[in-house]
Structure 1
């Protein structure tokens, strides 16, 4: 896999971080902050750990701090996946 889509991220987040009532992680929510979506930093870290293990990648912690919305998070993960595929 060389790309993580929103549907895949949603599935992983719901497993590791739960699902906040009334929050729909869709295209309209891509630019909302994690906390606005009901996810805390632990949920994002658990999701990241799972993604790192599943796809055998390592995501830079400093860059992860900047991935404070689903759109930025997907961009970060996909850039790491893309870099791995290019090697």
Structure 2
């Protein structure tokens, strides 16, 4: 089964929303909210759209918004991602 990882998410974040120089996205960011990482609602929409388009899934607002964490986002994606998709 394919698994979406935190590293995969970081790649999407960098591509869609850029990187805030106050945070090292390669560090321990799993439990920090996206808002606290410097990503607002618009940035998160860009990330969500990129993930949806690439993986062919439809993500809910809950767990993928600016008040969520990268760990929760990864969990939501893995719950929805078909086994045949390889990130």
TM-score range, shorter chain: 0.7 to 0.9
Asked whether the equivalents of residues 30 and 70 of structure 2 are also in contact (C-alpha less than 8 Å), the reply is yes
Secondary structure, aligned partner of 1:60: coil
How many pairs align? 84
Relative to structure 1, is the Cα distance of residues 67 and 3 closer, same or farther in structure 2, using a 3 angstrom cutoff?
farther
Residue 31 of structure 1: how far off its partner (Å)? 0.3
Shift >4 Å, 4+ stretches = none
What does residue 52 of structure 1 align with? Answer: 52
The root-mean-square deviation of aligned C-alpha atoms, in Å, is 2.3
2:77 matched to which residue of 1? 77
Question: Which structure has greater helix proportion?
Answer: 1
SS in 1 for 2:35: helix
Q: After superposition, where does 1:3-42 map in structure 2 within 5 Å?
A: 3-26=3-26, 28-42=28-42
How many angstroms apart in 1 are the aligned matches of 2:75 and 2:66? 11
Point out where structure 1 has 5 or more consecutive residues left out of the alignment.
none
